[in-house]
Structure 1
Amino acid sequence: MAEEQKAKAKAEQAKGKAKETVGRAVGNERLTAEGRAEQSKGDARQAKEKTKDVFKH
């Protein structure tokens, strides 16, 4: 399950980065903000999984 969550985190980060990039390219502030939010969500999920890994070992 941990690998699934790590993959989900990476996917959220990538999707967020893409949204942010598109938002900036077209000048859409809302899309840019959504992209940043998704990246942050992915970062948080990834940090949570790393913390779990530290305590497992």
Structure 2
Amino acid sequence: MSNIVVRVRSDVGVERSIKETLHMLNLTKVNHAVIIPDNPQYKGMLQKAKDYITWG
């Protein structure tokens, strides 16, 4: 199973670790989407950046 992740907010004024997480997910611009596998490592990344992305 996979998830599609869409970035919905800008990273202006965001904590550095969250910016790095968004970069690791390859979400560099607002409204960009990526497909990621459904595994625990990615779940943690999604939870960390939850205020700036949506997924399903």
* Fold similarity call, TM over 0.5: no
Identify, as 1 or 2, the structure richer in strand: 2
> Normalization by structure 2: what TM-score?
0.29
> Normalization by structure 1: what TM-score?
0.29
Identify, as 1 or 2, the structure richer in helix: 1
Higher gyration radius (CA): 1
